[in-house]
Each structure stands twice: as structure tokens, then as C-alpha cells.
Structure 1
């Protein structure tokens, strides 16, 4: 069913999304692809893209470590460019079956102004996308209610 699962991450507290990706990969017996995209627009003239690689490497390694603790096969990658384009190309190149992404769940003006990479990925491809809330306020209120 889901043999190749993609977990694209920018490293912002996405433990909940990663946990979902690992659980699904574990159940399917497939392979988890972790992808850190270094946004080409954030690389200024004085900063070389190489200066961002350690952060991307750490993000991918952290995800791999968590997955390895559960004996889940992992393939990690770090790419540079427009996050939407890089993720969509990765989906195609690696024949991904499912994408698991964290989302802040913004609405209203914030959503219109900032947009959502998760939403754009959902609209631009035929592969199912599981959007997992990573909003700290929502997770805190859920913890209090249980």
C-alpha cells in the first residue's frame, strides 16, 4: 500500500508528524524518506549554501535516529531550492506513495499572506498527503484535556 513514505521537514518541532510517518512506515514495512529542503531564497549573497548544510544534515540525522530506534528503513536527503518544487520533484523521482507533513494549521489572513507548503503540495500532485498539526497551542490544550 504505502511502500515509500516521504517526510519533508524544515526542522521546526515536527515530532508529532515524524511519529505518524514512522508509525505508517512501520506498519507498511516500507521505507521512510526524510527530506530537508534548504530554501534557496534564504541563502543570501554573503552566506554560501554550504553554511546551511549542517542544519539540514542534523534535521535528517535526527529523523533517521528516531526511525532507526523502531527498526524502520530510512533514506535521508538534503536539497536546496524552492521547497514546493523540490518536494514535488522528490515525490516524482522516488515514486513516493504517501507524504506526511507537519502543518501549523493557520487560517484567515495568516494563511493568505504566508500560504502553506503543505497545502500547495496537496494541490499540485496526485499522491496522498497526511497533514499533521504541529501547532503548539493546540497540542498544549489537548494535553491538558486528557
Structure 2
């Protein structure tokens, strides 16, 4: 059975990712592992404190005891917070009949993913996290790091939930783009959507991009799909954004890295400004 790893911090963006994870799980016949990571930077280090050199020994022992008590209380609160967040995610996903496994770890999300992602088929996470209200123009720090270091397809979700009706494949002809087409053809829930295929070139007479688009269209048609193929001219990020708005696209599929500015696009303006979920394929 396939597995989806859903990363949550309980924020508004994370909660909006639950319906998307459920939709993909149902289409892929997959279970969902829900991961919450307690940030280790919030853990106190009372046991490691050596205060005897700066204050009296008796006062140091008393203070150290209080610090230990505070640390234990913080650990209990962190555990309770994790349980509430994980239980909320489980209730939202299991209500649709999807099998759910809850995972709580302490450390850093990126480090935890290194040991978990090998056994999953898709990673799902909100575009931004707990600090969303304080950094409205930026990607979440975890998203940035995971896109750079991850090795599995990653679905980045927005704050709002939209019905899945039309998907757009931003295709650049790279090996990653070709694997992305295969991912699309193998996913029943994606095949059932209205499929749009977009390649962006420097001019309407760009022969290489026209050939690239025609080859991708032929691959999808051979698999029984009927994509709406389009060659757009201009800056890639702006062309993608314009096409999404003009055709009311519900889901964007693109390679996380490729040979035509895809790295810049993913870390840059396309993902930041996109108000629909983006599936990044490695």
C-alpha cells in the first residue's frame, strides 16, 4: 500500500493541507502518516547548566532545581500540544476512511524527513507555518529546505482549499519533467482531471520548445489522455501565473529542478505567489 507523509505544525496553512492529503490518499489508495516535530530549540538545558561559579552553591542548586522543574513542565506542555495537533489531523483525515498513523518526534523537521521519506510516496505540507501572519510574503523556512534537500514528490498547499478540477503541467523537457508525466499517468485521481500542458519559450518560433511540447502531448495521448497543450512566450514564472489565472487551474505540477530556471521558480516567485497547491516532482 502506498504511503503519504503529511507534515503539520497545527497552523492554519497546515490544517488546510489535510483535505488535500485526503484527496491524494483516496486517489492513490494510500495511507497517511501524520508527522509533528517539536522543535528542539525550545528545549531547556538545565541539566547542562553550571551556575556554581557565578553564584553561591546553595543558590545555584536551588535555581537549578527550579530550572529542571520548568523544563519538565515545558516537556509536558509540548507533549500535550503535539497530541492535540495530531489528534485533530487524524480526525480530519480518518473521517473519510483513510488509514492514519501518528508520528511525534523532537528535533528539526528536515532532519526527521531524512529517515522517514524513504518509505513514503508523497510528502504533503502547508506553504507556510506557524509564523505565517508575520511573514506574509515569504515561503516557510521548512518548505525551502525540504524542496532543496528532499528526494520524493512534495505537495505544497495554500491557505485555502479549492476543488480539484483542472491541473496544469509546467513542462520543460528535462528528465524530471518526463518522470512527472509518468507520475501523472500513474495517478488515477490526476488522470480524471482536465489536463493542461504548458511549455514556455522565448518566441512563437522556438522550435525546440515546440518539439518538447509536442513530444509531451504525444506521450499523454498515447496513455489515453487528452491534454490541452499550449506554448506560451515570455518569462516563465509570469507565463505560468497568467495561464493559471486565465484557465482557473486547480493544481500545478512541475519539476522541482530542471534545466530551464526551474530551481529559481520553485524557490522564487511562482511558489510564493501561487494560490493553488503545487506538486513538485524530484
What TM-score results when the alignment is normalised by the length of structure 1?
0.78
Task: Name the structure 2 match of 1:84.
Answer: 110
Q: What stretches of structure 1 move > 4 A for 4+ residues in a row? A: 105-108
Task: Name the structure 1 match of 2:34.
Answer: 34
Residues of 2 paired with 1:43 and 1:26: CA distance? 37
Residues of 1 paired with 2:114 and 2:96: CA distance? 27
SS at match of 1:47: helix
Task: Name the structure 2 match of 1:65.
Answer: 91
Task: Name the structure 1 match of 2:81.
Answer: 55
Task: Name the structure 2 match of 1:102.
Answer: 126
What are the Cα deviations for residues 91-110 of structure 1, in whole angstroms up to 9, with x where unaligned?
A: 13xx11100100138687x5
Residues of 1 paired with 2:158 and 2:81: CA distance? 23
Over 3 Å counting, the alpha-carbon distance change for 1:130 and 1:57 in structure 2 is same
Residues of 2 paired with 1:42 and 1:133: CA distance? 27
CA contact (8 A) 2:4 2:120 kept: yes
Please show how residues 10-25 of structure 1 align to structure 2 within 5 Å.
10-13=9-12, 14-25=14-25
Task: Name the structure 2 match of 1:139.
Answer: none
Residues of 1 paired with 2:15 and 2:87: CA distance? 13
Structure with bigger RCO (C-alpha 8 Å, 6+ apart): 1
Which residue of 145, 148, 151 corresponds with 1:123?
A: 148
Query: Which structure's CA Rg is the greater one?
Result: 2
Gaps of 5+ in 1: 136-141
Residues of 2 paired with 1:44 and 1:103: CA distance? 29
What are the Cα deviations for residues 68-119 of structure 1, in whole angstroms up to 9, with x where unaligned?
A: 1100011111100112111232213xx11100100138687x56xxx62012
Gaps of 5+ in 2: 46-69, 161-274, 276-282
